[in-house]
């Protein structure tokens, strides 16, 4: 086996040193009835060319990966500069573990410190953690954190215009976790969260209001208004972003007084990879930092006065606090956080804004082309970023036709929104050139 | 002037400022074709922000050099032996990195129609079956993003099971040696935890479990081999004691690397377990994730697995949301698919025999270290160990040397440190897990370093107490960092 270095002579030598005749003698503590049935019946091992061949054949059966993809809905096709993956392939990064020994983990630690700084700036928040698994579980952790902060209040209001899977994860996480009641706030006719219905539900029993920024339909919510409503009743404002490129252009959650802001970071330098791994971004106010889940890196100095970084404020965490921890999360998505850090460093201040503008412009251009014939319309009137709902009574058949023509023409909304059964959620990014857009328009004719 | 020149550092110990301090107005590392549109043509101006103050303005070569330098300040398994107990820091095969990046996987949108993603679904299907075969469990979901999320998923399922059978129950039994994630995961499901003490040889006894069991206990969470590296010999009687009162057994699969071909969790009486693909199945630890934490269950719990489930419909595989008894989703989409690709490639490469050989060599290597160090260091529990062995700093108190000092001194010797001060049941624990991918020469070098340190501790204890000195920074003041947390760089900070 090419990953195992032990020769027969090595094994004999190790056995002799241990003082046993054969490896089986090391397992005598294990009940014989367990040992007798333990054989792993899988095919014999395979050489590298065989493994590679098998995986290439499987990859080749994913036709969608080679086609124009106008689907967003929480996973976005974006260009990734080559420098990002070059760094990700540094084995010094990927083969390290959680930086328990800071003296020989300064690379990971400084990169996370830079990540925390970038995320805080992107979200306009005071402090960000070292990352979560993904946007959905980050939102669930944000709900739990808000509920801990507003301890006596049992209700959390979730906008129906949040990503449906994020809402499902919140339901899973909160079931049995305590007396948390989730209330769904409907979508108004313009595609934003219905502020009137929200106001009616906002009582002193509400711990937090959670809305998307932009929301699942790509629409920019009226966060100013929602934040004011929530804070007037003592509820926290929590925002969730699944397309963080938008924050290169839109005012960030922090500028609306968000108390906790979470996001999915996949758009920032991470391939879609059939939905994972991405990375959860999680930020809050400094005053809540000790209520925060997840790891945190802080600046420190050594005995010689040199600057360095360490894991800090660990008394919130499971390995210290056990059942009283702020979360059960252990490690995070460190390598994906590194991808985000390299990506944002490369794209930079001007590039991020240009990307965000290009996405907006392209999505609006595509929306304009699709609606020009009159066969499609945009049911929602509120401003949108890089994805939009496209409505047409023939949507299901048209989407299927496009599929047969090799174009992923967005995501049908029927499975999540019966009231939008004739809707497609269509996304356009900087990756969609004129030829791809032509194919989409033709495919949906 | 950069920090490097200011500190007059030279040679290979390159100082590297934070990326923000490399920023110069107008510099850039990225450009798009075209551009120049006015965003106000599409969005109301009052929704827009200015370009983000403080965001890096650096050229691409500066980005590359910055992160390459940072990488050089890290030790990984690719650099050196990384005997971090309980983390199974085995070799991460490079081919796995290549296949996970194939465009057919990396470029696949998760909401692509099932018909156009059959390769991905086939991989998921086969990996579920491989893990079922390795563990003996009846059904597997690959959705959880990490071991801790797998635990949470498992405990949610246990809760759902009890709710359906009358009531959720209120308590979970956890041995004192458990990972901290166990009690934290149980608490997230609304359970209080009751600690079960191990016996004098570090094991959980069925009699102790039986005494702790009552009709309010939902489950026992147990790690086997336990975190002392010992196989729980009474595991089947322990499971019987739990089942006799209607409880379920959650088996923490963190140490599965010790079990392949040796014992299957299902046969031990496990009802649920999580797999840590980043441990047993070689996916990289990534400096702290992403991992992947699939869960396996007995048939009686399969209906509670997270939604969606992969089902076969004739020749095709497809996702099914028709899971009315499911606990629901624990994350978006289907799991850390990129990590699943790597684990799948690893299992293909080793095959059944190779996996069993991996376990055998991991256990042999751990016992070799145990035997060779037990004269110089206090072994917490005597006798044969499984994949890891736990020593302590007992006996070094007379010279004022602690576990932390020993760990730091190992860095000077060019090794990463073992896991220290865990498990909590061993004061000053030093937990060493070599894995199967280290050669005898590497093990010997590590052993020699440990023996040298033991000798140094007695002869020149200051050398050990002042370690490390051969690292980019010395010991950092963690207490001060926590008292005055600086958790981010602020715009306006001068370089």
Alpha carbons within 13 A on the beta-carbon side of A69: 25
Delimiting residues of CATH 3.40.640.10 domain(s) in chain B? 95-349
Write out the E strands in A265-405.
280-284, 297-301, 307-311, 387-391
- The shortest CB-CB distance from B288 to any of A298, A317, A332 is to A332
- The shortest CB-CB distance from A104 to any of B75, B90, B356 is to B75
* Per-residue confidence (pLDDT) for residue B7, from 0 to 100: 52
* pLDDT tens profile B210-264: 999 999 999 999 999 999 999 999 999 999 999 999 999 999 999 999 999 999 9
Select from B6, B58, B110 the residue whose CB has the most chain A CBs within 10 Å, as the one to mutate to test that interface.
B110
Which residues, 6+ apart, have CB-to-CB distance to B125 below 8 Å? Answer: B310, B312, B317
Rounded average pLDDT over A31-53: 98
Q: Which of residues 354-383 of B touch A (CB under 8 A)?
A: 354-358, 360-361, 363-365, 367-368, 371-372
Which residues, 6+ apart, have CB-to-CB distance to A268 below 8 Å? Answer: A244, A245, A339, A340, A343, A344
Q: How confident is the model at residue B4 (pLDDT cuts 50, 70, 90)?
A: very low
Question: Hey, are the CB atoms on B82 and A172 less than 8 Å from each other?
Answer: no
What share of chain B in percent tops pLDDT 90?
A: 94
Complete edge-to-edge strand list for the sheet that includes strand A155-159: A127-128, A280-284, A260-264, A236-241, A206-212, A155-159, A181-185
Q: How far apart are CA B403 and CA B229, in angstroms?
A: 18
**Interstrand relation of A236-241 and A260-264 (parallel, antiparallel or unpaired):** parallel
Q: Is B40 on the interface with A (CB under 8 A)?
A: no
- Mean residue pLDDT across chain A: 96
Phi then psi dihedrals of residue B307, to 5 deg: -90, 145
Rounded average pLDDT over B337-366: 98
Is the predicted ipTM greater than 0.95, yes or no? Answer: yes
* pLDDT tens profile A353-392: 999 999 999 999 999 999 999 999 999 999 999 999 999 9
Chain A hits for B41, CB-CB cut-off 8 Å, are 361, 364
CA-to-CA separations, B92 to A64, B79, B286, B339, in angstroms, rounded: 29, 12, 10, 11
Rounded average pLDDT over A125-154: 96
pLDDT at B495 over 50: no
Question: Hey, are the CB atoms on A172 and B360 less than 8 Å from each other?
Answer: no
Q: Which of residues 79-118 of B touch A (CB under 8 A)?
A: 79, 82, 84, 87, 89-93, 95, 97-113, 116-118
**CATH for A65-80+348-443, options being 3.40.50.300, 3.40.50.2300, 3.40.50.2020, 3.90.1150.10:** 3.90.1150.10
DSSP B127-190: HHHHHHHHH--SEEE---SSHHHHHHHHHHHHHHHHHHTT---SEEEEETTS-THHHHHHHHTT
Q: What residues does each domain of chain A span?
A: 65-80+348-443, 82-342
Q: How confident is the model at residue A331 (pLDDT cuts 50, 70, 90)?
A: confident
* Per-residue confidence (pLDDT) for residue B11, from 0 to 100: 59
Question: Hey, are the CB atoms on A65 and B105 less than 8 Å from each other?
Answer: yes
Q: How far apart are CA A200 and CA A206, in angstroms?
A: 11
Q: What is the pTM assigned to this prediction?
A: 0.97
* Per-residue confidence (pLDDT) for residue B188, from 0 to 100: 93
Chain A hits for B420, CB-CB cut-off 8 Å, are 100
pLDDT at B342 over 60: yes
Delimiting residues of CATH 3.90.1150.10 domain(s) in chain B? 352-480
* pLDDT tens profile A239-248: 999 999 999 9
Q: Is B29 on the interface with A (CB under 8 A)?
A: yes
Q: For residue B236, what are its two tokens?
A: 């089947």
Q: Which fold has domain B352-480?
A: 3.90.1150
Chain A hits for B275, CB-CB cut-off 8 Å, are none
Q: Collapsing DSSP states into helix, strand and coil, what is residue B394?
A: coil
- Mean residue pLDDT across chain B: 95
Nearest CA in chain B to A286: B487
Q: How far apart are CA B359 and CA B433, in angstroms?
A: 12
* pLDDT tens profile A72-110: 999 999 999 999 999 999 999 999 998 999 999 999 999
* pLDDT tens profile B356-412: 999 999 999 999 999 999 999 999 999 999 999 999 999 999 999 999 999 999 999
Question: Hey, are the CB atoms on B184 and A122 less than 8 Å from each other?
Answer: no
Q: In the A/B pair of chains, how many CB contacts fall below 8 A?
A: 704
Q: Which fold has domain A82-342?
A: 3.40.640
Crossing angle, helix B60-72 and helix A106-123, to 10 degrees? Answer: 140
Q: How far apart are CA B468 and CA B472, in angstroms?
A: 9
pLDDT at A321 over 90: no
- Tokens 């969260």 correspond to A193
pLDDT at B494 over 70: no
CA-to-CA separations, B28 to A203, B59, B363, in angstroms, rounded: 48, 5, 52
Taking the CA of residue A336 and the nearest CA in chain B, the distance in Å comes to 7
Q: What is the CATH number of domain B95-349?
A: 3.40.640.10
Chain A hits for B344, CB-CB cut-off 8 Å, are 55
Phi then psi dihedrals of residue B389, to 5 deg: -130, 145
User: In whole angstroms, what separates CA A239 from the centre of its chain?
Assistant: 13
Q: Is B132 on the interface with A (CB under 8 A)?
A: no
Q: How far apart are CA B150 and CA A97, in angstroms?
A: 19
Task: List Cβ<8 Å contacts ≥24 apart for B64-69.
Answer: B64/A83, B64/A86, B64/A87, B66/A345, B66/B16, B66/B19, B66/B22, B67/A87, B67/A90, B67/A111, B67/A338, B67/A342, B67/A345, B68/A87, B68/A90, B69/B14, B69/B16
* pLDDT tens profile B173-201: 999 889 889 999 999 999 999 999 999 99
Q: Is B481 on the interface with A (CB under 8 A)?
A: yes
């Amino acid at each position: 086996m090419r990953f195992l270095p032990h020769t027969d002579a090595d094994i004999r030598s190790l056995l002799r040193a241990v003082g046993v005749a054969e490896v089986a003698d090391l397992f005598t503590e294990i009940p014989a009835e367990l040992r007798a049935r333990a054989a792993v019946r899988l095919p014999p091992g395979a050489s590298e060319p065989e493994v590679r061949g098998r995986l290439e054949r499987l990859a080749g059966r994913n036709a969608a990966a080679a086609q124009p993809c106008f689907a967003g809905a929480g996973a976005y096709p974006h260009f990734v500069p080559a420098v990002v993956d070059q760094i990700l392939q540094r084995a010094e990064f990927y083969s390290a573990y959680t930086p328990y020994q800071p003296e020989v983990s300064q690379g990971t630690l400084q990169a996370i410190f830079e990540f925390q700084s970038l995320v805080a700036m992107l979200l306009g928040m005071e402090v960000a953690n070292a990352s979560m698994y993904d946007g959905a579980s980050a939102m669930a952790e944000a709900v739990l954190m808000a509920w801990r902060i507003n301890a006596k209040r049992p209700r959390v209001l979730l906008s129906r215009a949040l990503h449906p899977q994020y809402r499902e994860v919140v339901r899973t996480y909160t079931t049995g976790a305590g007396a948390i009641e989730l209330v769904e706030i409907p979508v108004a006719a313009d595609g934003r969260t219905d502020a009137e219905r929200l106001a009616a539900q906002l009582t002193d029993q509400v711990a937090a209001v959670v809305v998307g920024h932009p929301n699942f339909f790509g629409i920019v919510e009226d966060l100013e208004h929602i934040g004011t409503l929530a804070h007037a009743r003592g509820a926290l404002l929590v925002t969730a972003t699944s397309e963080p490129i938008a924050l290169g252009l839109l005012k960030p959650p922090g500028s609306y007084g968000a108390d906790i802001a979470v996001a999915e970071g996949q758009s920032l330098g991470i391939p879609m990879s059939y939905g994972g791994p991405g990375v959860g971004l999680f930020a809050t106010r400094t005053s809540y930092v000790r209520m925060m889940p997840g790891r945190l890196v802080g600046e420190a100095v050594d005995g010689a006065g040199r600057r360095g970084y360490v894991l800090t404020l660990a008394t919130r965490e499971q390995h210290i606090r056990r059942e009283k921890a702020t979360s059960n999360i252990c490690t995070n998505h460190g390598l994906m956080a590194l991808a985000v850090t390299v990506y944002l460093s490369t794209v930079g201040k001007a590039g991020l804004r240009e990307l965000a503008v290009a996405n907006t412009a392209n999505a609006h251009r595509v929306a304009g082309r699709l609606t020009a014939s009159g066969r499609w319309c945009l049911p929602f009137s509120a401003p949108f970023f890089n994805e939009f709902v496209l409505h047409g009574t023939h949507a299901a058949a048209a989407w299927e036709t496009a599929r047969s023509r090799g174009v992923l023409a967005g995501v049908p909304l029927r499975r999540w929104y019966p009231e939008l059964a004739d809707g497609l959620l269509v996304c356009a990014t900087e990756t969609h050139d004129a030829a791809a857009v032509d194919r989409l328009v033709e495919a949906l004719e | 002037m950069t920090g490097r020149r200011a500190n007059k550092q030279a040679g290979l110990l390159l100082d590297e400022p934070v990326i923000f301090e490399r920023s110069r107005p107008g510099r850039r590392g990225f450009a798009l074709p075209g551009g120049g549109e006015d965003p106000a043509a599409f969005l109301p101006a009052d929704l827009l922000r200015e370009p983000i103050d403080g965001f890096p303005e650096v050229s691409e070569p500066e980005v590359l050099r910055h992160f390459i330098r940072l990488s050089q300040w890290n030790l990984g398994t690719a650099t050196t032996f990384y005997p971090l107990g309980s983390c199974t820091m085995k070799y991460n095969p490079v081919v796995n990195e290549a296949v996970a990046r194939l465009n057919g996987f990396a470029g696949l949108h998760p909401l692509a129609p099932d018909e156009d993603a059959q390769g991905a679904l086939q991989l998921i299907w086969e990996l579920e079956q491989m893990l079922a075969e390795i563990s003996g469990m009846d059904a597997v979901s690959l959705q959880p993003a990490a071991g801790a999320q797998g635990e949470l998923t498992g405990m949610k399922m246990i809760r759902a099971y009890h709710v359906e059978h009358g009531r959720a129950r209120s308590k979970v039994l956890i041995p004192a040696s458990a990972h901290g994630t166990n009690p934290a995961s149980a608490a997230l499901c609304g359970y209080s935890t009751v600690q079960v003490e191990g016996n004098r040889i570090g094991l959980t006894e069925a009699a102790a479990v039986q005494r702790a069991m009552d009709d309010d206990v939902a489950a026992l969470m147990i790690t086997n081999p336990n975190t002392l590296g010992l196989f729980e010999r009474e595991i089947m009687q322990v499971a019987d004691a739990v089942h006799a009162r209607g409880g379920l057994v959650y088996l923490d699969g963190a140490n599965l690397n010790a079990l392949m071909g040796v014992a299957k969790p299902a046969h031990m009486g496990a009802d649920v377990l999580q797999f840590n693909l980043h441990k047993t199945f070689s996916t990289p630890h990534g400096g702290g994730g992403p991992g992947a934490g699939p869960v396996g269950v007995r048939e009686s719990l399969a209906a509670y697995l997270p939604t969606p489930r992969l089902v076969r419909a004739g020749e095709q595989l497809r996702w099914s949301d028709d899971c009315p008894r499911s606990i629901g989703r624990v994350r978006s989409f289907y799991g850390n698919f990129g990590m699943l690709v790597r684990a799948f490639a690893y299992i293909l490469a080793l095959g059944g025999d190779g996996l069993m050989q991996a376990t055998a060599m991991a256990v042999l290597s751990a016992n070799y270290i145990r035997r060779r160090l037990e004269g110089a260091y206090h072994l917490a529990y005597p006798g044969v160990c499984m994949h890891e062995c736990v020593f302590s700093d007992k006996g070094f108190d007379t010279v004022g040397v602690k576990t932390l000092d020993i760990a730091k001194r190992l860095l000077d010797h060019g090794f990463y440190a073992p896991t220290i001060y865990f498990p909590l049941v061993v004061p000053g624990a030093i937990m060493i897990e070599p894995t199967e991918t280290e050669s005898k020469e590497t093990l010997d070098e590590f052993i020699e370093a440990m023996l040298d340190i033991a000798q140094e501790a007695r002869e020149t204890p200051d050398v050990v107490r002042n370690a490390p000195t051969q690292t980019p920074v010395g010991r950092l003041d963690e207490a001060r960092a926590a008292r005055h947390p600086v958790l981010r760089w602020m715009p306006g900070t001068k370089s």
